Amino acid sequence: MKRDVDTGAVGPELQLRRRQVGSIPVVAVSGEIDVYTAPRLREVTQQLASEGHPTIAVDMNEVEFCDSTGLGVLIGARKRLQESGGDLVVLCSNSGIMKLLRLTGLDQVLTIRDELSETELVRLMARMGNDNAFTSTDPTVVRFSFSPSAAYVRAARLVAADVAEKAGVASNALDEIRQAIGEACSRAVLRHKENAIDAQVRIEFSISDRFIAKVTDSAHDVRASKSVGGAGGELRANMPSSQQRTEIIDEAEEHPEEVTLVVLAGLVEDLVVTPSATGVGTTIAMSWPLSRSSDKSPL
C-alpha cells in the first residue's frame, strides 16, 4: 500500500511529499533544490533516519534545478544511513539531474534507480552487506533479513516468486511459493511481536537440484517441539496428526501464528520445521523441484 503524505514546502520553489513502498519511506521532491531550499530536504531525511528507517529513497524525477548544496544533502544522507547499516536510494530518470550526477561522478557513488517497487527494494537490501540485510558470496544463495513488521511480508512474497522463477521453478508452483513464504514470514513476525523481540526475521533462498527457502525467527518460546511433533520438533512432508491440529486450532486465538503450520503442512510437500541453528527460535525450510535448468544465479 502506497500513501502520500505532504511533508511541507519551503516557498513555491520546493515541494516534498512522502509515500511508503512497503516499510521504506520515499521522499518525492519537486521544484528547485538550492542553498535556500536544501536545508528542508536535509531536515526531512534526518527525521526519517531518526525514526529508525535504515533505507530511504529520494525521488528526483520532478526536480527542476539542483545545485551543489542539494548534492551535498544527498551525500550527507547516504553517509549517515550507511553508517547505521542502510543506504540512500535516488530515484531518477530526469535527464537534467542525471547529467549533473554524471558530471560530478555521483552516478558511480549513489544507488540510482528509475523507479522502486517492493520487489526492487528487497533485492537492493539483499545486496547490502549490513545487519539489516546481507548476501552470501555464493551466487546460488540469497540471504536477507527484515525488521519484524507486517509491511515487509508482501515484499518477501514477491521476491520469493521472482527468485524461484529465475531459478527454474515451474510457473504453476509460483502461487504456492508466494503463499508459503507469506505464511512463514507472517508467523515469524507474529512470534516476534508476541515476545517483544526486535531482532530481524531471516530469509534464505538457495538453488541446488531444488529451489530451497528458509525463514528463521528468534522467538524464545519455541512451541514447534510441542505443536508439530517429531524428533527435535521436526515436521517433514506430512500434516500434523489430528490431535496436533486440534491443539493448534484450540490455541488459534491466543497463538494465531501457529495456525500457519497447519496451512504450510498442507501446502508444501517438502517441509521441515526445526529449532534454529542458534537454539533460539525456529527455522521453516521448504523446497520445490526445478522444471528447467537455470544459471543458478538467483539475483
72-104 pLDDT per residue, tens = 999 999 999 888 878 899 999 999 999 999 988
Which of 140-144, 162-166, 291-295 has the least mean pLDDT?
291-295
Both 159 and 266 in a single domain? yes
140 and 229 fall within a common domain: yes
> Looking at the predicted structure, is the pLDDT value of residue 35 above 70?
yes
C-alpha separations of 24 from 49, 57, 88, 191 in Å: 11, 7, 11, 22
State which of 52, 82, 116 marks the end of a domain.
Answer: 116
| Nearest Cα residue to 220 out of 196, 250, 245 | 196
Distance CA(31)–CA(201), nearest Å, equals 39
Residue 23 in contact with residue 57, Cβ under 8 Å?
Answer: no
CA distance 167 to 211: 7
pLDDT at 279 over 90: no
pTM to 2 decimal places: 0.59
Count of structural domains within the chain: 2
72, 92, 116 - which closes a domain: 116
| Sheet strands (E) in the chain | 5-10, 14-21, 24-33, 55-66, 87-91, 111-113, 141-146, 201-207, 210-216, 235-236, 270-275, 282-289
Whether the per-residue pLDDT at 234 is higher than 50: the answer is no
Does residue 160 share a domain with residue 90? no
In a shared domain, residues 73 and 155: no
Residue 105's domain spans which residues?
A: 5-116
Least confident of 49-53, 76-80, 238-242: 238-242
| Range name among 132-136, 240-244, 255-259 with the lowest pLDDT average | 132-136
14: in domain: yes
Yes or no: say if 135 and 146 are a contact pair by the CB < 8 Å rule: no
In a shared domain, residues 109 and 226: no
User: Which of the listed residues 89, 116, 143 is the one where a domain comes to its end?
Assistant: 116
* Residue 177 domain flag: yes
- Say if residue 263 is in the same domain as residue 152: yes
Q: Which three cell numbers stand for residue 105?
A: 561522478
